[in-house]
């Protein structure tokens, strides 16, 4: 499957691309110089993760995602909540690495789920602990015994999961079998046997390389539309927009934050986003970027105003006060609970409630139990 770039309607795309690019660059410049920039970035991760599933017709409350991320779930997490947290985790991983990592060989393999075997290699002391040649004699027999017991337990657990005979002398062979089982022996009830993911992913990469001469935002629009048409991954269509967000960061369109493009796309009607006309789809993407930047500017102004109001309550406080840390926490999360404040600030329940009361935060839940607060 290929994506043809020969007949792009550039005349109808330049205007929307320039408008969206200007708005996005202005927002990124404000975030780079803003005292609430870090909080804005963290909030953007949560917003984009929830919006991504909203576009797929699945509803995840942002309150549940915040509590799940803090390991303070009120109930068993749903499948949708788990996927939203995966998007949240991948956004953080993309933003934490260098700009070119996500679209590089290692980053793309990791994000697509093919880098697990490379991320967690076996410890180097395994052969010695399991009876290999002892080239070094560090004199610490107790540590060796503990390591040998730990490796034996890990081997037994791995063998049970793989349902293969245990063979402690051949860890490399067992690792190869694990990779082959994950890549080739897919469940036909879940995966389409004719869906060649590596070939489709290579086709998308070719389309991305062919668009190198275009302006950054127009190239991002082409990359996202190509992902939608080619559909490299069967069960992760949302990964395409994350890669496009990484592309904007790699081309230095955004340097201080990772654009939350899912949120802006929610404003565009579905019949336009999924139109048969490619030109209309590309314009819809660019309009979504513009709406993202416009909404981001309003959110930034709101956070600046909230921080200014909360900073006034720091006057006359001791240098050991926990209020500055609480302000940073409140600005970086859509909501906070007393348990989150206790965990992050290292205070008691009564101390957390007292700090929240001093900032005069607005209570969101309105209940006696599982109370949560935020800035509105």
Q: What is the DSSP string of 33-52?
A: T-TTHHHHHHHHHHHHHHHH
For tokens 């200014």, name the residue.
308
- 20 and 289 Cβ atoms separated by less than 8 Å: yes
Under 8 Å CB-to-CB from 345, ≥6 apart: which residues?
322, 325, 326, 329, 351, 352, 355
Instruction: From 50, 30, 5, select the one nearest 255 (Cα to Cα).
Output: 30
pLDDT at 119: 36
pLDDT at 159: 62
- 296 and 27 Cβ atoms separated by less than 8 Å: yes
Residue 164 CA to residue 298 CA, distance in Å, equals 56
Please compute, for residue 202, the number of CA atoms within 13 A of its CA located in the half-sphere on the CB side. 5
- 109 and 118 Cβ atoms separated by less than 8 Å: yes
pLDDT at 280: 93
pLDDT at 165: 42
- 24 and 259 Cβ atoms separated by less than 8 Å: yes
Tens digits of pLDDT across the chain (376 residues): 678 888 888 889 999 999 999 999 999 999 999 999 999 999 999 999 999 889 888 889 988 899 899 888 878 889 999 999 999 999 999 999 999 999 998 888 888 875 433 333 333 433 333 344 444 444 456 666 667 777 777 766 666 565 444 444 444 433 333 333 344 456 666 666 677 788 888 999 999 999 988 999 999 999 999 999 998 887 788 898 899 999 999 999 999 999 998 888 888 999 999 899 999 999 999 999 999 999 999 999 999 999 999 998 888 788 788 899 999 999 999 988 888 899 889 899 898 888 888 887 888 876 556 688 888 6
pLDDT at 25: 95
Domains of the chain: 10-112+196-300 (no CATH), 118-132+141-183 (no CATH), 316-374 (1.10.10)
Residue 256 CA to residue 249 CA, distance in Å, equals 9
Burial class from Cβ neighbours inside 10 Å (0-12, 13-18, 19+) for residue 91 reads buried
Locate 325 and state its tokens.
């840390």
289-290-293-299 Cα dihedral, nearest 10 degrees: -110
pLDDT at 40: 95
DSSP characters over 201-226: HHHHHHHHHHTTTS-HHHHHHHHHHH
Instruction: From 66, 33, 49, 34, select the one nearest 306 (Cα to Cα).
Output: 34
Locate 168 and state its tokens.
């402690």
3-state secondary structure at position 188: coil
Q: Does the reported pTM lie above 0.85?
A: no
Residue 3 CA to residue 141 CA, distance in Å, equals 61
Instruction: From 303, 252, 291, select the one nearest 42 (Cα to Cα).
Output: 303
């Amino acid at each position: 499957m290929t994506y043809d770039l020969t007949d792009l309607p550039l005349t109808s795309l330049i205007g929307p691309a320039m408008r969206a690019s200007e708005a996005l660059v202005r927002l990124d410049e404000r975030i780079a110089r803003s005292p609430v920039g870090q909080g804005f970035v963290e909030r953007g991760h949560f917003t984009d993760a929830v919006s991504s599933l909203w576009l797929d017709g699945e509803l995840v409350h942002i309150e549940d995602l915040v509590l799940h991320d803090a390991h303070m779930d009120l109930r068993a997490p749903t499948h949708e909540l788990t996927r939203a947290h995966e998007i949240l985790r991948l956004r953080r991983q993309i933003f934490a690495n260098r700009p070119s990592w996500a679209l590089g060989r290692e980053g793309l393999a990791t994000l697509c789920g093919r880098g697990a075997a490379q991320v967690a290699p076996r410890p180097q002391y395994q052969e010695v602990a399991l009876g290999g040649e002892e080239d070094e004699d560090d004199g610490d027999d107790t540590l060796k015994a503990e390591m040998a017991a730990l490796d034996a337990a890990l081997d037994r657990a791995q063998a049970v999961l793989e349902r293969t005979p245990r063979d402690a002398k051949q860890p490399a062979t067992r690792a190869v079998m694990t990779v082959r089982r994950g890549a080739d022996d897919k469940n036909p009830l879940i995966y389409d046997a004719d869906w060649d993911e590596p070939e489709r992913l290579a086709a998308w990469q070719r389309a991305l390389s062919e668009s190198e001469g275009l302006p950054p935002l127009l190239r991002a629009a082409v990359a996202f539309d190509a992902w939608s048409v080619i559909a490299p991954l069967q069960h992760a269509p949302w990964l395409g927009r994350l890669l496009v967000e990484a592309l904007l960061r790699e081309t230095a369109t955004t340097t201080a934050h990772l654009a939350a493009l899912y949120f802006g796309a929610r404003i565009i009607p579905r019949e336009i986003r999924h139109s048969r006309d490619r030109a209309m789809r590309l314009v819809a993407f660019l309009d979504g970027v513009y709406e993202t930047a416009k909404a981001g500017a309003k959110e930034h102004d709101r956070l600046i105003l909230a921080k200014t109001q909360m900073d006034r309550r720091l006057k006359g406080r001791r240098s050991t006060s926990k209020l500055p840390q609480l302000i940073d926490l409140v600005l970086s999360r859509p909501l906070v609970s007393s348990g989150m404040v206790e965990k992050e600030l290292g205070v008691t329940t009564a101390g957390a409630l007292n700090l929240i009361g001093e900032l005069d935060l607005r209570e969101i839940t309105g209940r006696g139990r599982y109370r949560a607060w935020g800035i509105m």
